[in-house]
């Protein structure tokens, strides 16, 4: 019996004894069992541990590892088992290429998960900065471009390992890319300008901006264009390339606004009352919030009035609040001047006639 078993184990098929085949089968089964324990026991425990931590990156890494499917584990087990027997060269080469494709696939998938994680973090950061919903089209486009580049690199690496000369292919892509860039230079210019706007942040959704003769509130920053809602109600669409090549006045970023305004009183106002006007103006500003009076002066003798100039600061960039403040100032001036008997001027013309002697 012992002799027959020894004979079977020493029996050779395809340059390998039955002992080697049996050893390879045992290694295959043990490797599969070990990987099964790793996938369903160890990874499960690591996921529970990572779920208790505050960091998110460890959860993402565990999801990447957990997402590796059984084709990878079976291929790895087979690769290890076949090391214990001699196999034909074409089978070894085929196994190598299959392993290369599978490993590359799961590696790219893992990197894509990291890109998605970075995209989510970037969106959350912008939402906190904007305190609300933000347009994610630029981030999504950049994410898709990165993923496309990754798959392109993966295909080139696989073809290179398969023995193909990829230098011609890369050169072809380069020439084709230049041709496409020339054909689509205006569109690509707008797209890259959108990246510039997104990362440089010259303005954000909700900001009131002036671009040349156009002005309005930014409603959407898209891939190719930015849309403004004008004060008159219509939508203004401006290309991103134009926005990055011109001067923009962003009034939402104003923390303090300097205001000049003038008013005139009639020529019949006494000097005593003229001297009293600056003091009246100062007392008005003392009672109005968000304002800081800079100066008030009797500026000039106008054609129809004695003109005063007032300069002050209002501590807000909001145009509506500024107009509320200016309205309060105007009403207070009107009220005080009525009490003091000071009359605002309006265009008049007096004709003096000299009677002949």
CATH, residue 230? 2.30.30.60
Give the total number of structural domains in the chain: 3
C-beta atoms surrounding 327 within 10 Å: 10
CATH number of the domain that residue 316 is part of: 3.30.70.100
Q: How confident is the model at residue 221 (pLDDT cuts 50, 70, 90)?
A: confident
Contact yes or no for 56/117 (Cβ under 8 A): yes
Residue ending a domain, among 202, 230, 253, is 253
H or E element, residue 37: helix 18-37
Q: Are both 168 and 230 inside the same structural domain?
A: no
Name the nearest CA neighbour of 316 among 163, 208, 164: 208
17 lies in some domain? yes
Between 322 and 170, the higher pLDDT residue: 322
Contact yes or no for 215/247 (Cβ under 8 A): no
pLDDT for res 271: 94
Residue ending a domain, among 146, 174, 202, is 174
Q: What is the tens place of the pLDDT at every residue in 28-76?
A: 888 888 878 887 778 778 777 777 777 777 777 788 777 777 777 787 8
Q: Are both 166 and 205 inside the same structural domain?
A: no
Q: Are both 30 and 139 inside the same structural domain?
A: yes
Among the ranges 116-130, 150-164, 172-186, 247-261, which has the highest mean pLDDT value?
247-261
pLDDT for res 357: 47
Q: By residue range, what is the domain housing residue 231?
A: 191-253
Q: Are both 21 and 138 inside the same structural domain?
A: yes
The angle formed by the CA atoms of residues 308, 314 and 318, to the nearest 5 degrees, is 125
Q: How confident is the model at residue 201 (pLDDT cuts 50, 70, 90)?
A: confident
Q: Are both 117 and 209 inside the same structural domain?
A: no
312 Cβ partners below 8 Å, 6+ apart? 258, 259, 285, 291, 292, 293, 294
Q: What is the tens place of the pLDDT at every residue in 91-133?
A: 777 887 888 888 888 888 888 888 888 888 877 776 676 665 6
CB-based burial, 179-202: b 16+ in 10 Å, e otherwise: eeeeeeeeeebbbebbbbbbeeee
Q: What is the tens place of the pLDDT at every residue in 253-293?
A: 777 888 999 999 999 999 999 999 999 999 999 999 899 99
186 lies in some domain? no
Q: Are both 287 and 203 inside the same structural domain?
A: no
Helix (H, G, I), strand (E, B) or coil at 114: helix
Q: Are both 48 and 158 inside the same structural domain?
A: yes
pLDDT at 297 over 60: yes
Helix (H, G, I), strand (E, B) or coil at 294: strand
pLDDT at 181 over 60: no
DSSP state of 39: I
269 lies in some domain? yes
Q: Are both 36 and 93 inside the same structural domain?
A: yes
The angle formed by the CA atoms of residues 210, 214 and 220, to the nearest 5 degrees, is 75
Name the nearest CA neighbour of 79 among 58, 102, 57: 102
Q: Are both 236 and 307 inside the same structural domain?
A: no
pLDDT for res 2: 46
pLDDT at 1 over 50: no
**C-alpha–C-alpha distance, residues 87 and 14, integer Å:** 8
Q: Are both 296 and 336 inside the same structural domain?
A: yes
Range in 9-13, 91-95, 208-212 the model is least confident about? 9-13
């Amino acid at each position: 019996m012992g002799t027959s078993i020894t004979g079977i184990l020493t029996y050779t098929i395809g340059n390998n004894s039955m002992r080697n085949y049996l050893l390879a089968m045992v290694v295959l089964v043990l490797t599969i069992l070990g990987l099964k324990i790793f996938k369903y026991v160890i990874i499960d425990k690591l996921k529970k541990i990572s779920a208790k931590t505050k960091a998110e990156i460890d959860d993402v890494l565990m999801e990447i590892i957990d997402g590796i499917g059984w084709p990878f584990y079976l291929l790895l087990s087979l690769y290890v088992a076949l090391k214990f027997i001699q196999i034909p060269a074409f089978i070894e080469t085929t196994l190598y290429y299959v392993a290369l494709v599978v490993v590359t696939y799961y590696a790219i998938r893992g990197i894509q998960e990291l890109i998605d994680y970075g995209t989510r973090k970037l969106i959350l950061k912008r939402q906190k900065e904007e305190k609300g919903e933000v347009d994610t089209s630029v981030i999504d486009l950049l994410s898709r471009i990165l993923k496309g580049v990754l798959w392109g690199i993966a295909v080139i690496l696989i073809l290179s390992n398969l023995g193909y000369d990829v230098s011609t292919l890369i050169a072809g892509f380069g020439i084709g890319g230049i041709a496409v860039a020339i054909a689509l230079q205006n569109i690509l210019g707008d797209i890259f300008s959108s990246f510039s706007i997104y990362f440089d942040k010259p303005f954000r959704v909700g900001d009131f901006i002036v671009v040349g003769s156009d002005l309005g509130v930014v409603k959407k920053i898209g891939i190719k264009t930015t849309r403004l809602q004008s004060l008159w109600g219509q939508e203004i669409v401006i290309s991103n390339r134009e926005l990055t090549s011109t001067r923009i006045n962003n009034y939402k970023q104003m923390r303090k606004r300097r205001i000049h305004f003038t008013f005139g009183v009639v020529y019949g106002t006494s000097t005593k009352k003229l001297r009293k006007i600056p003091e009246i103006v100062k007392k008005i500003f003392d009672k109005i919030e968000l304002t800081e009076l800079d100066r008030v002066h009797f500026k000039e003798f106008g054609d129809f009035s004695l003109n005063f100039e007032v300069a002050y600061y209002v501590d807000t960039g909001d145009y509506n609040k500024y107009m509320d403040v200016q309205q309060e100032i105007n009403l207070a001036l009107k009220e005080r001047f009525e009490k003091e008997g000071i009359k605002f001027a309006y265009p008049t013309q007096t004709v003096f006639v000299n009677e002949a002697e």
